[in-house]
């Protein structure tokens, strides 16, 4: 056995940026724990971070470059030299024939700073195009506009410590309990230590985050600007504003004061669908608090008025002078682990490195000078939605996609898939070959992933950490920066023959040292840092310049903002409703967002069965009244349609969603849910300034799917291989939902339905792949009814089940399998399997609430019914004692089930 070692690194999921300690033997990752020394998490991890080592099944990894030599042909494996040589030929030829703007790069907030910098230099300096955009366009770009317009630079002024220090916290359009769990733990602890701390949550849904709120404002979707203006109206009326601050440090207040006259309490409350009393309460909590902090996320940013929402919220801080001091300020939570680094290095089409703008001639000249090229392109680059539209209509002829899965995550998927089919040359630089986008790759480049690559990331509080590699990348996979620089050097031979290379880097540290000089003298100046210094001093918050040699906790403490005259600006924009409104044809508003244990398109989290324990499949949540109205029951399949597409999905009753609204998690794409996934329904309409699409509000209708023939498959073992083999066979089903189940014995789980039974041949193929064609298999066949059932028993234990035609026994068999017990009642049931299976009445599928200790909802409910409180449950069952991600949900169950004393 090899000796185990520990490497300190950073979690690759959300923007909290937790430090992790990776235990490994130099070849394999063995375990992960929270780094007690990292200031972002002080040793805590959430359910996703704590299971990192259990994800990333090698069977799902991209291991070799693969090249398709003609549309319609299969890709074949190749070596790096051939792969990148071919890419350089095609890019070179396309640029020569159609100009630099005929190629584009679509990159990701999950790359490391050094990867971004290489991509930016490649696109802007070498190729001379601004067609380089990232998935941050779907994520943080409204916040970027908000900060720049109101404060002069894209710099979040706060620190995590403000969560403890603040007297009043506003959480707007953020489900922190799921999406930034370690910060939420911090908030829970702070509230427990100081119950006088007031917390307001603004969210149309009653999420787990609301459990901590003193006040939850369940506003009508998209009405945040009206709400913020309405609050300011009251602040002015009550004289809860800081006139001295406004006078000394801001511009534009008179216009805003005028505008908010239109937002009187009664009118605002009506627009927002809340009570006037709640509106007044919110204003008084904010207006009278000694310190006021706001945190927000996609509920504000992903909107056609995302920029206005951001500025309207910042207005409240400027009007009350609650910025630039401890416990106060506007604090956007960044989604992806290095969305901040992307913004710093200029990884949106309109930006340049060092918080510069591509449409600013002075900025272009500074960067061109530093890079030693004549000039940078002045043509505006395309933003994500525009970029894929240009691909679809032929303007862009070669696209390079890295570390993002647009064929799952972009709105209006039908058009995205059309674009990827139409594009003459698609390069996909990916760690997992399983994603929806990889299907379209003419060239697939295998990327090293978490635990295997090195560089830096910046988290939500501007803190730069060193991401370290623990083990070598598998197969031929290489680090992203290395792939980019290798390609760039080949392209240079065509575009800059004879000149010295711009890409002669041999390590991420070297790239960092070149890049950091572009921050010199800028608001974010971190020219004083290096990889080595971060290793010595620990992670640091920018600015960190050569002179001060220390990090910065709070910005704007002197009341000087990053604008030309040093004053912050009040932005006055009226409330505009969301683009799509409910009407007779589309009477429900679809909201989309995150689940606790899944990450985006699930390329990584979707390889760990444990992470499906909390939510097993894609479900459309509706208020119970809406289910009644449509005569629907939990689990019924419906056809969900928007103006753009249709999906078949099971529904679930959910009191957290208000009547007239629906919620669908964003995670399921075409791989796990047939029909191009959640985003086949969403709309591409975007904010005019940030160009961020409105992913949170699209109108839909539902109708019963009426699919009589059903299929259920559960098969233990080799889950990735079986997934890949079985998924392509399922295209003919009207409904298909796939997932994993189990912990120590992972199994593949499949539910499908159709109007008619498929060919017997198809079932035979599935049976063969599931080991249900021979061996110890019990079966029942009723061809006249198109019903057929098979169960495989190995040593008396169920290892595979396939029910087709009718699947009433599926939950019973599922629990029998989960129990791992010998299945004695099976043969009796199989004699007459259409009759109600034993225990079927109560056998609705259970779920795992506590993922760390593996405690199911049913055990927790039974405990609550016996009178146990949270502490008793923790002690008796162990639930909630590790990462704590399940605690809000347990509290909610206690509130709904506990027998009043
Ligand atoms: N578990 C998990 N965590 C993640 C991620 C993940 O995939 N999984 N992804 C990371 C990334 S990239 C991001 S961007 C963040 C996102 O983090 P969040 O933004 O917190 O998560 P979402 O669930 O997308 O949306 C937040 C909330 O916005 C609400 N909302 C919808 N419409 C409106 C509205 O009009 N106004 C208001 N005020 N609220 C509204 C939704 O009901 C939802 O509860 O999460 C990060 N963390
Ligand atoms: N309906 C709806 N749609 C949404 C959202 C929503 O709330 N609702 N949210 C939007 C938001 S905020 C975001 S951020 C996007 C996220 O959308 P995507 O960017 O598509 O999300 P991921 O699935 O995280 O894609 C990252 C990809 O990078 C791969 N990868 C992992 N590590 C590496 C690596 O080191 N190198 C390389 N080259 N590849 C790697 C992963 O396998 C994965 O396929 O989705 C957006 N789409
Ligand atoms: S909160 Fe969870 S997902 Fe986010 S960085 Fe920390 S451990 Fe990772
Ligand atoms: Mo995001």
**Pairing label, strands 103-107, 398-402:** parallel
Q: pLDDT tens digits for 457-506?
A: 999 999 999 999 999 999 999 999 999 999 999 999 999 999 999 999 99
- SS3 state of residue 245: helix
What atom in ligand 3 is closest to the CA of residue 40? 6
**What's the CA-to-centroid distance between 405 and ligand 2, angstroms?**
6
Please check whether residue 570 lies inside any domain of the structure: no
Mean pLDDT throughout 589-597?
Answer: 97
Please check whether residue 466 lies inside any domain of the structure: yes
**What's the CA-to-centroid distance between 611 and ligand 3, angstroms?**
14
* pLDDT attached to residue 413: 98
**What's the CA-to-centroid distance between 183 and ligand 1, angstroms?**
14
Structural domain boundaries enclosing 45: 5-55
Give bridge partners of residue 661 from the DSSP assignment: 589
The domain spanning residue 24 has which CATH number? 3.30.200.210
Q: Are 649 and 673 in contact (CB under 8 A)?
A: yes
Strand runs (DSSP E) across 617-682, as ranges? 620-622, 637-641, 646-653, 661-665
* pLDDT attached to residue 834: 57
Please indicate, yes or no, whether residues 168 and 281 belong to a single structural domain of this protein: yes
The domain spanning residue 758 has which CATH number? 3.30.390
Please indicate, yes or no, whether residues 327 and 179 belong to a single structural domain of this protein: yes
Please indicate, yes or no, whether residues 492 and 416 belong to a single structural domain of this protein: yes
In this predicted structure, the answer to whether residue 842 has a pLDDT above a threshold of 70 is no
Measured by CA distance, the residue closest to atom 2 of ligand 3 is 46
Give the residue from 312, 332, 352 where a domain finishes.
Answer: 332
In this predicted structure, the answer to whether residue 797 has a pLDDT above a threshold of 80 is yes
Question: For 742, what's the count of Cα atoms within 13 Å in the CB-facing half-sphere?
Answer: 22
Please indicate, yes or no, whether residues 317 and 407 belong to a single structural domain of this protein: no
**What's the CA-to-centroid distance between 298 and ligand 1, angstroms?**
5
Q: pLDDT tens digits for 689-706?
A: 999 999 999 999 999 999
Q: Find all residues with CB under 8 Å of 791, minimum gap 6, and list them.
A: 777, 778, 779, 798, 800, 801, 813, 823, 826, 830
Please indicate, yes or no, whether residues 234 and 161 belong to a single structural domain of this protein: yes
Please indicate, yes or no, whether residues 394 and 433 belong to a single structural domain of this protein: yes
Give the residue from 470, 495, 510 where a domain finishes.
Answer: 510
- For residue 252, count CB atoms less than 10 angstroms from its CB and return exposed for 0-12, middle for 13-18, buried for 19 or more: middle
**What's the CA-to-centroid distance between 744 and ligand 2, angstroms?**
27
Ligand nearest to the CA of 467: 2
At residue 643's C-alpha, the angle toward residues 637 and 645, to 5°, is 50
Measured by CA distance, the residue closest to atom 19 of ligand 1 is 298
Mean residue pLDDT across the chain: 95
CB atoms within 10 A of CB 331: 23
* Ligand 1 mutation target, pool 139, 142, 297, most atoms within 8 A of CB: 297
- Is the backbone peptide bond immediately before 543 cis, with ω within 30 degrees of 0? yes
Q: pLDDT tens digits for 421-433?
A: 999 999 999 999 9
What atom in ligand 2 is closest to the CA of residue 139? 12
Please check whether residue 855 lies inside any domain of the structure: yes
Mean pLDDT throughout 584-601?
Answer: 97
Q: Find all residues with CB under 8 Å of 532, minimum gap 6, and list them.
A: 509
Please check whether residue 742 lies inside any domain of the structure: yes
Please indicate, yes or no, whether residues 379 and 484 belong to a single structural domain of this protein: yes
Please check whether residue 392 lies inside any domain of the structure: yes
- SS3 state of residue 122: helix
Question: For 717, what's the count of Cα atoms within 13 Å in the CB-facing half-sphere?
Answer: 9
**What's the CA-to-centroid distance between 256 and ligand 2, angstroms?**
37
Distance CA 771, CA 776 (A): 9
The domain spanning residue 885 has which CATH number? 1.10.10.1100
Ligand nearest to the CA of 221: 1
- Surrounding ion ligand 4 within 5 Å at CB are 139, 335
Please indicate, yes or no, whether residues 279 and 245 belong to a single structural domain of this protein: yes
User: Cβ(134) to ligand 2 under 6 A?
Assistant: no
- SS3 state of residue 735: strand
Give the residue from 654, 675, 704 where a domain finishes.
Answer: 704
**In 3D, which of 289, 299, 226 has the Cα closest to residue 263?**
226
SS (H, E, C) 180-201: CHHHHHHHHHHHHHCCCCEEEE
Please indicate, yes or no, whether residues 152 and 268 belong to a single structural domain of this protein: yes
Ligand nearest to the CA of 594: 1
CA 813 from chain center: how many Å? 33
In this predicted structure, the answer to whether residue 901 has a pLDDT above a threshold of 60 is no
**What's the CA-to-centroid distance between 162 and ligand 3, angstroms?**
19
User: Cβ(695) to ligand 2 under 6 A?
Assistant: yes
* Ligand 2 mutation target, pool 300, 603, 662, 686, most atoms within 8 A of CB: 603
Q: pLDDT tens digits for 853-884?
A: 889 898 999 999 999 999 999 999 999 998 88
Distance CA 886, CA 597 (A): 10
Please indicate, yes or no, whether residues 107 and 34 belong to a single structural domain of this protein: no
Q: If pLDDT is split at 50, 70 and 90, which confidence band does 838 have? A: low
Please check whether residue 892 lies inside any domain of the structure: yes
Domain count, the chain: 6
Tell me the residue length of the chain: 901
**What's the CA-to-centroid distance between 185 and ligand 1, angstroms?**
17
In this structure, what token pair is assigned to residue 744? 């120590």
Please check whether residue 801 lies inside any domain of the structure: yes
List, chain by chain if needed, residues with CB within 6 Å of any ligand 3 atom.
Answer: 11, 13-14, 16-18, 41, 45-46, 48-49, 180-182
Please check whether residue 107 lies inside any domain of the structure: yes
**In 3D, which of 260, 238, 429 has the Cα closest to residue 320?**
238
Please indicate, yes or no, whether residues 155 and 283 belong to a single structural domain of this protein: yes
What DSSP state is assigned to residue 532?
H
Please indicate, yes or no, whether residues 502 and 601 belong to a single structural domain of this protein: no
What atom in ligand 3 is closest to the CA of residue 459? 5
């Amino acid at each position: 056995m090899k000796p185990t070692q520990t490497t300190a690194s950073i979690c690759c999921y959300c923007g909290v940026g937790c430090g992790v300690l990776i235990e490994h033997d130099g070849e394999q990752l063995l375990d992960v724990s929270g780094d007690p020394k990292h200031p972002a998490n002080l040793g805590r991890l959430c359910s996703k971070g704590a299971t990192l080592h259990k994800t990333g099944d090698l069977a799902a990894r991209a291991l070799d470059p693969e090249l398709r030599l003609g549309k319609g042909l299969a890709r074949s494996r190749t070596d790096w030299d051939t792969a990148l040589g071919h890419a350089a030929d095609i890019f070179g030829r396309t640029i020569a024939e159609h100009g630099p703007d005929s190629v584009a790069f679509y990159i990701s907030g999950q790359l490391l700073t050094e990867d971004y910098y290489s991509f930016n230099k490649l696109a802007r300096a070498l190729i001379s195009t601004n067609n380089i955009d990232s998935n941050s366009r779907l994520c943080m770009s409204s916040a970027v506009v908000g900060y720049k317009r109101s404060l002069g630079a894209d710099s979040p002024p706060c620190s995590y410590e403000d969560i403890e220090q603040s007297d009043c916290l506003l959480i707007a359009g953020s489900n922190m309990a799921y999406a930034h769990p370690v910060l939420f733990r911090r908030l829970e602890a702070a509230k427990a230590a100081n119950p006088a701390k007031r917390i307001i949550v603004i969210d149309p849904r009653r999420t787990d985050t609301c459990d901590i709120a003193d006040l939850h404002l369940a506003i009508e979707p998209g009405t945040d600007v009206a709400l913020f203006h309405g609050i300011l109206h009251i602040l002015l009326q009550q004289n809860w504003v800081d006139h001295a601050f406004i006078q000394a440090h801001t511009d534009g207040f008179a216009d805003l004061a005028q505008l908010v006259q239109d937002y009187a309490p009664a009118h605002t409350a009506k627009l927002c669908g809340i009570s006037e009393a709640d509106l007044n309460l919110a204003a008084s909590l904010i207006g009278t608090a000694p310190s006021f902090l706001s945190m927000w996320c996609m509920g504000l940013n992903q909107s056609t008025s995302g920029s206005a929402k951001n500025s309207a919220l910042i207005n409240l801080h400027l009007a009350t002078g609650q910025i630039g001091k401890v416990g106060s300020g506007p604090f956007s939570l960044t989604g992806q682990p290095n969305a901040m680094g992307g913004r710093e290095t200029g990884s949106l089409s309109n930006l340049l490195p060092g918080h510069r703008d591509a449409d600013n001639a002075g900025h272009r000249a500074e960067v061109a000078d530093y890079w030693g090229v004549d000039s940078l392109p002045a043509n505006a680059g395309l933003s994500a939605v525009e970029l894929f539209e240009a691909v679809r209509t032929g303007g862009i002829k070669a696209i390079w996609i890295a570390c993002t899965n647009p064929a799952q995550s972009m709105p209006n998927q039908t058009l995205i898939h059309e674009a990827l089919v139409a594009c003459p040359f698609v390069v996909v630089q990916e760690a997992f070959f399983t994603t929806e986008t990889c299907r379209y790759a003419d060239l697939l480049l295998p990327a090293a992933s978490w635990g295997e690559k090195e560089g830096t990331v910046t988290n939500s509080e501007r803190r730069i950490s060193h991401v370290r590699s623990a083990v070598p990348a598998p197969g031929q996979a290489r680090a992203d920066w290395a792939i980019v620089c290798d390609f760039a050097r080949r392209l240079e031979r065509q575009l800059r023959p004879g000149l010295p290379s711009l890409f002669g880097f041999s390590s991420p540290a070297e790239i960092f040292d070149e890049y950091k000089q572009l921050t010199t003298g800028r608001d974010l100046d971190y020219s004083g840092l290096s990889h080595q210094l971060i290793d010595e001093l620990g992670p640091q918050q920018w600015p960190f310049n050569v002179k001060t040699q220390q990090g910065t906790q709070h910005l704007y403490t002197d009341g000087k903002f990053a604008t030309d005259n040093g004053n912050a600006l009040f932005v006055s924009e009226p409330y505009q409703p969301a683009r799509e409104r409910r009407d007779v044809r589309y009477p429900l508003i679809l909201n989309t967002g995150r689940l606790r244990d899944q990450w985006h398109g699930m390329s990584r989290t979707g390889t760990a069965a444990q992470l499906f324990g909390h939510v097993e499949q894609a479900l459309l949540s509706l208020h119970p009244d809406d289910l009644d109205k449509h005569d629907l029951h939990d689990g019924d399949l419906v056809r969900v349609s928007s103006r753009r597409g249709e999906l078949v999905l099971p529904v679930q009753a959910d009191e957290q969603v208000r009547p007239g609204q629906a919620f669908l998690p964003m995670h399921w794409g075409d791989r796990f849910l047939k029909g191009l996934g959640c985003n086949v329904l969403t709309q591409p309409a975007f904010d005019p300034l940030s160009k961020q699409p409105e992913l949170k509000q699209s109108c839909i209708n539902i109708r019963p799917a009426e699919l009589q023939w059903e299929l259920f498959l559960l098969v233990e073992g080799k889950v990735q291989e079986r997934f890949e083999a079985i998924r392509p066979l399922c295209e003919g089903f009207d409904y298909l939902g796939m997932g994993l189940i189990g912990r120590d014995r992972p199994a593949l789980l499949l539910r499908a339905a159709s109007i008619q039974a498929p060919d017997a041949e198809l079932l035979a193929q599935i049976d063969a792949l599931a080991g249900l064609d021979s061996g110890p298999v019990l079966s029942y066949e009723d061809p006249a009814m198109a019903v057929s059932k098979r169960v495989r028993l190995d040593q008396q234990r169920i290892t595979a089940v396939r029910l087709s035609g009718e699947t009433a026994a599926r939950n019973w068999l599922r629990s029998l399998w989960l129990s791992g017990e010998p299945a004695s009642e099976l043969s009796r049931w199989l004699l007459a399997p259409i009759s109600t299976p034993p225990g079927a009445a109560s056998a609705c599928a259970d779920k795992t609430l506590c993922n760390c200790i593996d405690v199911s909802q049913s055990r927790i409910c039974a405990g609550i019914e016996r009178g146990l409180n949270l502490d008793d449950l923790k002690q008796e069952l162990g639930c909630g004692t590790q990462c704590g991600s399940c605690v809000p949900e347990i509290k909610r169950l206690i509130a709904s089930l506990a027998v009043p004393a």
